[in-house]
Every structure is written in C-alpha cells, then in structure tokens.
Amino acid sequence: MQVAPGGLWLLEAVSGSGTLSAIPLDYTTGLPADGASAQSVALPSSNVPQLAMSPSNSTHPYLFVAMAAHGTAVIPFSAGNTNPLGAIRTIPVMSSTGEATAVAVDVANRLLFVGETAALPGTQSGGVRVFDITSNIGELSDSPYRTGGTGPAAILATEYYVYVANKSVSGSTKGNIAGFAITETGSEYSLTTLSSIAAGIATVGLAEDNTLTYIAAANSGGGPDLNVYTFDSSTHGKLDSVTTGSIDAGANQAVAIAATP
C-alpha cells in the first residue's frame, strides 16, 4: 500500500487478490473522495510481495509491482486521469526457479531495483537487478549484482547508495544487508559493491530517518526485532551497527517498517 505523490491516490496491491487498485483521495482530509470510484487493473499474478512508485519529481511516473515467479509489473501512472493506471508491461525473472521479491526506485527517479531469489548462479543466488528508467527501463549491462543471500526482501534506494536486505542467507540463521554505491558516468549507470553487514532473523524492511543519519532494519524472526545502523565516517555508504531494539510485541512479528518524512 502506498500514497501516490501529490496525495490524490491510494495504491493497493493485496497478495492473493491479483488486483492493483487506485483509490481516489480527498487531498484535504486524506480520506477516500466522495462520489469517486476506485480504479483497478488485473495483475498477471496473485502473489505480490511489494510495490513501489516513481517519486514526485518524475516526468513519466510508473508503478512497479514485484510478482514472485511472474516477474515485475511495470504500469504507467497518470494522476490527473480518471483512471490513472496504464497498460501493464512485465519484466520476466532471470531464472525460472526464481522470484521477484522486492522492488524500489531511487529518489532521483533514474533507476529501478528488483530483488530476485535466483538472479545468479551459486549458493547465494539472490541478486538485485537494475534498470534505467530514463532509457525505456532497460537493464544495465552489469546487472544483476550479488547481494550475498538467497532471499532479497527489502530495498532502500537513496540518491547515491542502495541497500538490499536479505531475508535469508544460505548457511546462516540470520539475514544481512548488502550495500552498493550508485555511479553515474554521463548517461550510464553502474553499482559498486560495498561491504555487507549482519542483520536479524528474516529481515523484512528497511527505512532511513529524516535526518539521513540512520537506517533501521525490521526482522520478522527477531534476533533482534530491530537493527539500527549509521554511516561509516571513513568509507562512504558503508553501514556500521549502532544499536538493536525490541518491539515488545509478544507473539507478533514485525512485517514492515516506515520512518516519518
């Protein structure tokens, strides 16, 4: 679930329904707009782990929906239309044994990041695929990039760095977070791998605080419930552990995390 930039639409893709819905909102109240009808489009899959949207500075905005074995849906979005949802295009998964499990767009609206469970050969088969939004969503020549795990579950993309949380890592009970620096040379983009850092069990979400000082990771399996990191003073983009925390939720598990803007 996500509110579109501009605050006029609530976007919802519920796993199991196979439908992406756009619900018109009253900008002043944030509630569903009186007399307006929700719009929807059928997705190629009912398994939809995540959705992401182009940021507010986008000239040609899109919605991106991770659809597990069915790949990633690319949907043009026009907030000013009665029906803002355009025709679906699908990016297939790299391997027939893999799934698209995480998706994100960088804040400068240049790159789409897709986490897949079998993007690369080897034991740690998880990877992040990178697409140039400004070039007809074409995949970078060096994509995919290894993330050091088997289950990419969350992606946090900033202007200069991107972080991928692995929910599972072969041979370990805990997840990790892989970092990459984004390099722009003329009109070409590439990623440079930074060192990874350990997280808790079954990491499911990442968020950056509004001071751009800390990154927090939520772990559905605990060990701990919450990891908090800051940026290394010597190596740009590298994460250092600061503290851990508990959500004190009893038998409940963390399923997502968000930070105030």
CATH label of the domain that carries residue 251: 2.130.10.10
Q: Mean pLDDT across the stretch 212-226?
A: 94
Retrieve residue 245's tokens.
């925390």
Confidence band, pLDDT 50/70/90 cuts, at residue 70: very high
- Residue 77 inside a domain? The answer is yes
Q: Are residues 113 and 230 in the same domain?
A: yes
| pLDDT the model gives residue 228 | 97
Inform me whether the pLDDT recorded for 60 exceeds 90.
Answer: no
- Residue 6 inside a domain? The answer is yes
Q: Mean pLDDT across the stretch 141-152?
A: 95
- Residue 229 inside a domain? The answer is yes
pTM for this model (two decimals): 0.94
Q: pLDDT of 224-257, one tens digit each?
A: 999 999 999 999 999 999 999 988 756 578 888 9
Q: Are residues 147 and 219 in the same domain?
A: yes
Confidence band, pLDDT 50/70/90 cuts, at residue 149: very high
Inform me whether the pLDDT recorded for 5 exceeds 90.
Answer: no
Q: Are residues 252 and 127 in the same domain?
A: yes
Report the mean per-residue pLDDT for the chain.
93
Q: pLDDT of 109-140, one tens digit each?
A: 899 999 999 999 999 999 999 999 988 899 99
What share of the chain has pLDDT > 90, as a percent? 78
Q: Are residues 145 and 234 in the same domain?
A: yes
Q: Are residues 120 and 209 in the same domain?
A: yes
Look at residues 24, 59, 92 and tell me which one is the last residue of a structural domain.
92
H helix or E strand, kind and range, residue 111 = strand 111-116
Look at residues 63, 92, 121 and tell me which one is the last residue of a structural domain.
92
- Residue 251 inside a domain? The answer is yes
What share of the chain has pLDDT > 70, as a percent? 98
| pLDDT the model gives residue 251 | 58
Query: Is 90:44 a contact under the CB 8 Å cutoff?
Result: yes
Q: Strands of 70-211 (E only): list them.
A: 72-76, 89-91, 100-105, 111-116, 127-132, 138-139, 145-146, 152-157, 161-166, 176-185, 188-193, 197-198, 203-208
Confidence band, pLDDT 50/70/90 cuts, at residue 77: very high
- Residue 244 inside a domain? The answer is yes
| pLDDT the model gives residue 250 | 61
Q: Which amino acid is at 12?
A: E
Judged by average pLDDT, the poorest of 26-30, 118-122, 203-207, 239-243 is 26-30
Report the number of distinct structural domains present in the chain.
2
Residue 50: give the domain boundaries: 1-92
Q: Are residues 193 and 215 in the same domain?
A: yes
Q: Are residues 243 and 116 in the same domain?
A: yes
Retrieve residue 158's tokens.
């900033």
Query: Is 164:147 a contact under the CB 8 Å cutoff?
Result: yes
Q: Are residues 133 and 67 in the same domain?
A: no
| pLDDT the model gives residue 27 | 87
Q: Which residue has the higher pLDDT, 252 or 108?
A: 108
